[in-house]
């Protein structure tokens, strides 16, 4: 019974989001799965804006494949990403990830959740980003900070753990809507449902949102 109510509420939210954000796209700049994978790992606890300022020029001139990063070496790579948060630990992760891509996948980014999450630094969120944006997977939920905040405020989940939130939403969002729903929820979190100062008076969900402050 509870799931039926949540599915009905979710369906109404899906329709409103589609009207408000019909053209939602990823905020990281990329030209291929390799670039998006690397940028997604680097974007953890960092802004997409900062990663976009740093990585696209490097992809264009230096890092066109995992072999290029490995050839450049960890010291040079760390120096090149020093403006991104936690460059030391992220450089180690990216080097390990690139080694796995070369050794286990012939330098190619794998196309399944199981294979992607075996890569160093790649969790379900990062894997879902790549699967949805690069490989046309519609049945993926991307639980980033915006998604977590907005779906909790809308009463679609009571969980705090990202994987449990993902499973909760997979039960109430139709598979072919999940990827677009994730992008649109993210846009709503960026433009209206701010972490500190949500614009509830401007929100299309203010009459039904349990967390609305009017």
d(CA 179, CA 137): 7
Residue 179 pLDDT more than 70?
yes
Mean pLDDT for the chain overall: 96
> Would you state the pLDDT for residue 117?
97
Question: Can you spell out the DSSP letters for 17-66?
Answer: HHHH-TT---SS--SSHHHHHHHHHHTTTS-HHHHHHHHHHHHHHT-SSH
Own/partner pairs for 44-49, CB < 8 Å, 24+ apart? Answer: 44/90, 44/121, 44/126, 45/85, 45/86, 46/84, 46/85, 46/86
Overall average pLDDT of the 15-19 stretch: 97
Return the active site residues.
Answer: 125, 144
| Nearest CA among 127, 134, 100 for reference residue 112 | 127
**Two structure tokens written together for 187:** 């846009």
Domain boundaries, the chain: 2-24+139-202, 33-134
pLDDT in tens, 73-88: 999 999 999 999 999 9
Pick the CATH number of 2-24+139-202 from 3.40.50.1360, 3.90.950.20, 1.10.1670.10, 1.20.1250.20: 1.10.1670.10
Task: Give the tens place of pLDDT for each residue, 141-175.
Answer: 999 999 999 999 999 999 999 999 999 999 999 99
Task: Tell me the fold of 33-134.
Answer: Endonuclease III; domain 1 (1.10.340)
pLDDT bracket for residue 206 (50, 70, 90): very high
């Amino acid at each position: 019974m509870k799931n039926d109510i949540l599915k009905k509420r979710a369906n109404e939210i899906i329709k409103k989001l589609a009207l408000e954000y019909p053209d939602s796209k990823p905020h990281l700049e990329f030209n291929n799965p390799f670039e998006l994978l690397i940028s997604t790992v680097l974007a953890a606890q960092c802004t997409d804006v900062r990663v976009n300022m740093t990585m696209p020029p490097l992809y264009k001139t230096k890092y066109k494949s995992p072999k290029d990063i490995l050839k450049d070496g960890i010291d040079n790579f760390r120096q090149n990403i020093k403006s991104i948060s936690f460059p030391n630990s992220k450089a180690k992760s990216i080097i390990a990830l690139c080694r796995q891509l070369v050794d286990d996948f012939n330098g190619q980014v794998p196309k399944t959740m199981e294979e992607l999450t075996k890569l160093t630094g790649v969790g379900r969120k990062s894997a879902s980003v790549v699967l949805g944006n690069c490989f046309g997977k519609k049945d993926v939920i991307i639980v980033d900070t915006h998604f977590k905040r907005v779906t909790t405020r809308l009463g679609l989940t009571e969980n705090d753990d990202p994987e449990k939130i993902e499973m909760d939403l997979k039960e109430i969002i139709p598979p072919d809507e999940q990827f677009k729903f994730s992008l649109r929820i993210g846009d709503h979190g960026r433009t209206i449902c701010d972490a500190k100062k949500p614009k509830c008076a401007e929100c299309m969900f203010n009459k039904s949102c349990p967390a609305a402050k009017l």
